[in-house]
Amino acid sequence: MPDYAMALVEVSAEAYRSRLMDISWFMKELNEPIARQANFEDNCTGRYYSHRFTRSPFGPAKAVQIFTKLVGRTI
């Protein structure tokens, strides 16, 4: 392999090596196709978590009591 090609391979390998050692970059690359597929299936655009997990108010006081008892048992 010519010297210029070997130098290009070494530079590319170093870039990939540094990216693969960066967990943030790896997780971004891992999550992107999943998010794109989910957006396609839900027929929406934007950030993956923008509309999927929204807070909703609890119902009547009885539901809140049941919920707190359930959470208290699991802690």
Cβ atoms of 64 and 58 within 8 Å: the answer is yes
- Could you tell me where the DSSP H helices lie in the chain? 3-20, 23-42, 61-74
Q: What angle do CA 37, 42, 47 make, to 5 degrees?
A: 70
Cβ atoms of 63 and 57 within 8 Å: the answer is no
- pLDDT > 70? residue 55: no
Q: How does pLDDT run across 7-49, given as a tens digit for each residue? A: 999 999 998 888 888 888 888 888 888 888 888 888 877 765 5
- Regarding pTM above 0.75, the answer is no
* Angle, helix 23-42 to helix 3-20, in steps of 10 degrees: 80
How many independent structural domains does the chain possess?
A: 1
The predicted structure's pLDDT at residue 74: 57
- pLDDT > 80? residue 57: no
Tokens 């998010």, residue located: 35
- Its domain, for residue 43, covers 3-74
